[in-house]
Amino acid sequence: MAETFDLPVTTDIHADEEADMAAEYVDILQIPAFLCRQTSLIKAAADTGKIVNIKKGQFMSAESMQHAVQKVRECNNEKVLLTERGNTFGYQDLIVDYRGIPQMQSFGVPVIMDCTHSLQQPNQSSGITGGKPTLISTIAKAAIAVGTDGLFIETHPNPSEAKSDGANMLPLDQLEALLIKLVAIRQAIL
């Protein structure tokens, strides 16, 4: 896949021992949001020399993510990204505090806005996470306006058939029009 499209490949790791194995095949090692405070996992990823993308836990403040960045830097690895995913609001919703993007950028790292996972609605009565995909465009446009360094947007030709996270995916046929708007916003603020 990476050779075909000339794109970097990324994957989450969940245990220290996965870091070296995954690093053989991917360009970016991601630390899942619920593990963003796990020192040994962050350091195992950093020790590979790969880019480490740490997803901010929905229970974390933007300011507190400076400690995760420091853990990577302590391993002599300056290749670190932070991904904003919103904050827990009540029991079944997330909300994005856009003040966190420039705050995390002040640590000297790029910040990515996860436009789809930040719209998840966990703990639904059905037991299946819901979402608000109609707000992906709103989240993305606001993030670009604030100056985020990149966007993460999950997309699928038919989100209702997706094996995971379909409830908060952007239909693929809507992606191009959104990207055109986002480029225009980026150009307007530069």
- Reported as a single tens digit per residue, the pLDDT across 18-48 is 999 999 999 999 999 999 999 999 999 999 9
Q: What are the b/e assignments for 126-165, b being 16+ CB within 10 Å?
A: eeebbbbbebbbebbbbbbebebeebbbbbbeebeeeeeb
In the block, which residue shows the tokens 């693929």?
172
Distance separating alpha carbons of residues 9 and 132, to the nearest angstrom? 27
CATH number for the domain whose boundaries are 2-189: 3.20.20.70
The pLDDT of residue 186: 96
Confidence of residue 57 (pLDDT cuts 50, 70, 90): very high
- Reported as a single tens digit per residue, the pLDDT across 155-178 is 999 998 988 888 889 999 999 999
Q: Alpha helices of 32-149 — where are they, by DSSP H?
A: 39-47, 66-73, 100-105, 136-146
- Reported as a single tens digit per residue, the pLDDT across 98-125 is 999 999 999 999 999 999 999 988 776 6
Residue 26 neighbours by CB distance under 10 Å? 18
Distance separating alpha carbons of residues 62 and 98, to the nearest angstrom? 10
Distance separating alpha carbons of residues 22 and 116, to the nearest angstrom? 24
Domain ranges across the chain:
2-189
Contact at 8 Å (CB) between 84 and 113? yes
